[in-house]
Structure 1
């Protein structure tokens, strides 16, 4: 019998075959070292795979390594590195793993967006792909700064404001909160009229633009009116200051009015004798009262509704007392009457010029007043034009409709195929009169005749 072979661990390895001497051994060892270093570098740097592209932004916008890269509404890669350029801009390196959008093409845009407002480092880069016919961008290409967009944070906007502006904005926000406190239902009801108002404004603006000459003349006249007022700004400022001083003086004399009201009962008692003498006169008035009874029957419900008003008017009467007479100088209505000659001298200069300015603008105001319904209609329709939006922002959708039907008297019939479906369109209608944007009503109340418009420019139809 032959002995079994020894275990594998005890079998001696065959001696290496050395060819070429010591130089061959050194070369093999050096090659193995280079291969090991390359393998370690590949593993440490995230190793092979993935299409890489860089983009230069004005700032990194709170991006961090590992944030996602999106394109077409889905994630396609991630941020691998963020650095600075020589001019202080942010250099962002991205790895694209989705082969369906590769390779990127020239014209691709990059934009830093925020996933929500509830976090800090929740940003991502959105790619807007370039046209499919554009040249391709090779692996490692760069998107130039003119095709990138960094976000603008709210704190950047607030930091751009000075201290006085920030205090005013803070007061506005607090005042708005106090204004709408407890009025949520009223605010909701008012908001429902916002979109119709914008739609009406759209139509009004279109009408104003159509008659550009009249609109330009209106702007020139308004500019002249404002200029005339600005020339007298000193007198106007003095008038406002005097009115302020008068109102302050009136408010400080409420005690005098209160004292007068306190003396009223004694005055009435002293007038008792006079009222006794009025009895004979009242007897003569019985005939008038008897004749007035049918008409006064409706006064009872009126006085019932008037009673709450009288009760609520008591504070106003107390304020009126201070308005008429208050202790001190230049603080009540009596002092105002005493100073009226100075006010009259001022009004002799300011008011006539104001009246002349208003008279000159009456023609423009009368013309613009005719288009008030069109202005309201434009406000109601303006908001619906671009209400829809997608990933690229708001957009307007326009669809022409060519009707295959026509109205023959009171019957709706199908148009013959030989009819021109474009007959309903009216090119060249730029001078519609007020109210001519819809069909003429049966009562003939529209359109209104105005200078410079065409009454025949109305939509087709009965």
Structure 2
């Protein structure tokens, strides 16, 4: 963030905190360390933008334990290259290892603090390089003091003098306090490392907060006052409806349980739907071709649809014309039902005797379809036996009762119907003209000639 420099007002509590941090940094990081040592040493090159005031021979420490030393220092293209001679206690190193220059005391002596990296990262081989992005320096106390103006520096000097007088004779108590603060300092060191790794995120956060702060500072804070007023109103409304909010929160677990059950059912439905969707996948792939075919079909069907309107109009006219016959048929429906019911026995008889009916029609057609030079003639086939002719002559032997009547019961004459001839063919006439056949002479002559084939 850019802005004009301004004098810093440092409270006594802040100066005490700075002093305690400076003292505690000498003992921070003390703790247990599980050594994964090998039987060989390693040389690692650590690159720094500024490695001063490191010297050849300074210690290299891991969690406060000396595990090597600075073997040499060179400079190349403005980058300081520090060779670290590491013992087996510092191994194995990983490619995300870090090296930081830290003060041993307030007198200015330095040591190299080593972090071996995470076990999930690849191993760093002998002669490997730790780039500038993985090295750094602690901020010295004098650099912190240089940011104070003269007045603040004089006040800090006076405070340090008073602090020295207060500490005089209380070394044991101060040592106990430092030992009690060691775990907190260790955690603070870890917290600082986390913040150091999140510098980019914090910078982005500050950059994003700057426009917000500027917007809130506009109009002499009226925007901020409006925001505070809205927040106050919201809090007042929330406090007024706290009972309803409590009831809502009490019902929330059951609602969440129902939601979880619904989501479970939805997951089952999705599992069941997946095979169906997979099965229709080929059809969906062909939807474009199908839609193109439908468009082509619709274009082809347009002429037919245009001509369909007259057809529909004509059909409407036919339906209107058929309404009267249909009404008449509906009115005649009961009579037709009775007629069909009466015809049903005849139809059943015809259906059971259909062969004879068809033969009758066929034989009648054969009988009447003959034609000669004059006209059509009737063709018939008769089986004639002597007894059929002579036996029926009146007074002749074997005369049969062709009249279809039996003798009177008191006449004493036997009943004789002749040799298998149908009765009633030449029934005697009761008119009293004396003819045995019931026919006159001309009729009898014609009938006899017809039977013998003499007449047409």
User: TM-score with structure 2 length normalisation?
Assistant: 0.29
Greater C-alpha Rg: 2
